Copies of this chain bind each other. A is one copy, B any other.
Amino acid sequence: MTYCVALRLNAGLVFLSDSRTNAGVDQVGTTRKMTVFENSDRLMVLTTAGNLSISQSIRQIISDYVNDRGESIWTVTSLYQAAQLVGECIRLVHERDAKSLERFGIDFNVSMLFGGQIRGERCRLFQMYSAGNFIESQNESTYFQIGEAKYGKPILDRVVTPESTLDEGAKCALISMDSTLRSNISVGLPLDLLLYEKDSFRIGRFVNIDEQNLYFQMIRNRWGQQLRSIFEGIANPTWNAWAPASAAGEVQDSDPTQPARIRPPRQQATGVSNAAPEPLQTLAQQPPSNEQH
């Protein structure tokens, strides 16, 4: 299913993608999902998820594509226009392939992250959909994700800000990817990690990360250890208050000191004494001390 994340920071852009592909659990492969389009006045990065044949077809035509107005991604003056051209490529492939795929019960499913910088403009980042439409990352949205996005989202929400450095963004993206790798087998190594420094118009920093990569091993080990360590450092709940017993029989949805409780109905002979439920222990009102234990 893939996982790709892209961060738009004040300092520039960070892109991270995995490379696992599958057509079912017995047909797993490796294909890189990041492509860089570069010239001296522009740098654009594309990462893809969804149906691999569709995303590869689109990637194949983007560079050579010239629309009716004679525009290509190499000549437009704004990344917004470049994103529109990528959208036109998606629609071309849709026109060519969607009906045939449908006959085999396959959806035309593709999503992309497309970002970079054209000289004269700021860095920009877009998330593109199967219909060829897209949204842009504005001030408040520091990152986009495609593919198996949910496992790795909480850490991005907690840690990344527009003021983060590119290295901090890369570190966060790798932790986000690590959470995803551990939880979903459709995402796998190696990874492509690219850092783009604003106004540089060159890749600058790139690494393909496999199982032997020492930095990623360090992140994976340390992050896991540290998580367990802060988990142990947070106080366990203290149960020392008593909530009253509920009355026998009825469901009690409205009393927040009790769960909704159901006792055996009278007409059912259970052969067991239908004793009244006992009172419950509930959380103490004072929060526990924040000291380590």
Contacts and interface: CB of A to CB of B under 8 A. Distances in A.
A103 interface: no
Kindly list the 3 A-B residue pairs having the minimum CB-CB distance in the complex, ordered from nearest: A150-B150, A208-B256, A167-B236
A239 B268 CA distance: 72
Contact of A63 (B168, B265, B272): B265
7 contacts: A32-B253, A36-B260, A150-B150, A155-B227, A205-B280, A213-B283, A218-B288
B75 A271 contact: yes
A207 to B, nearest CB: 4
A204 interface: yes
Q: How many copies does the complex hold?
A: 2
Interface string A8-51: 00000000000000000000000010111111110001000000
A39 B275 CA distance: 7
Interface in A45-63: 45, 63
Contacts of A226: 230, 233-234
B172 A154 contact: no
A156 B261 CA distance: 28
Interface in A196-231: 202-210, 213-215, 217-219, 222-224, 226-228, 230-231
Interface string A254-269: 0011111111110111
Contacts of A208: 256-257, 259
Contacts of A153: 151, 183
A157 interface: yes
Nearest to A194: B259
A159 B154 CA distance: 16
Given A234-B223, A237-B215, A281-B205, A38 B261 contact: yes
B72 A207 contact: no
A259 B36 contact: yes
A151 B179 CA distance: 10
Contacts of A278: 202-203
A271 B258 CA distance: 74
A231 B280 contact: no
B206 A262 contact: no
A270 interface: yes
B236 A268 contact: no
B283 A215 contact: yes
Contact of A277 (B152, B182, B202, B253): B202
Interface string A128-159: 00000000000000000000101111110111
A171 interface: yes
Interface in A228-255: 228, 230-231, 233-239, 243, 251, 253
A166 to B, nearest CB: 9
